[in-house]
Amino acid sequence: DTGVSQNPRHKITKRGQNVTFRCDPISEHNRLYWYRQTLGQGPEFLTYFQNEAQLEKSRLLSDRFSAERPKGSFSTLEIQRTEQGDSAMYLCASSLTSVSGLGDNEQFFGPGTRLTVL
């Protein structure tokens, strides 16, 4: 499968625990995005990387959230001290976009990681 992959697909954790999700984008895609989707809503932007550089973070990304893309390939999203309000589907997407960012191209989404915080 050459699409975007995410692991794990499901994660159940207790409030206060830390969790880490992984996203493997389509190879050669230089942009990688993280979104959060709650039931009945559209995906909400969290952050994105251009290669290994994290270029933008949403105000939704509190200081408990951190994302990395150390080698410009896979990315991890960590949530520390999880809260029940963090329960959601976490989606990763990748795209091949010019450095200038002009004329954005299709974002391909992964299957998501469903987080449940008890």
Partner 1 sequence: GENVEQHPSTLSVQEGDSAVIKCTYSDSASNYFPWYKQELGKRPQLIIDIRSNVGEKKDQRIAVTLNKTAKHFSLHITETQPEDSAVYFCAVHGSARQLTFGSGTQLTVLP
Residue from 23, 32, 48, 82 in contact with partner 1 (CB under 8 A): 48
Query: Stretches 17-25, 67-75, 79-87, 101-109: which one binds partner 1 (CB under 8 A)?
Result: 101-109
* CA 10 centroid distance within chain: 14
Query: 111 preceded by cis ω (within 30°)?
Result: no
Query: Cα–Cα–Cα angle for 85, 89, 93, nearest 5°?
Result: 130
Minimal distance, residue 106 CB to partner 1, in Å? 5
* CB nearer to partner 1: pick between 45 and 80: 45
Q: Segment near partner 1 (CB under 8 A), from 14-22, 44-52, 70-78, 80-88? A: 44-52
Q: Which helix (H) or strand (E) is 66 found in, with range?
A: strand 65-68
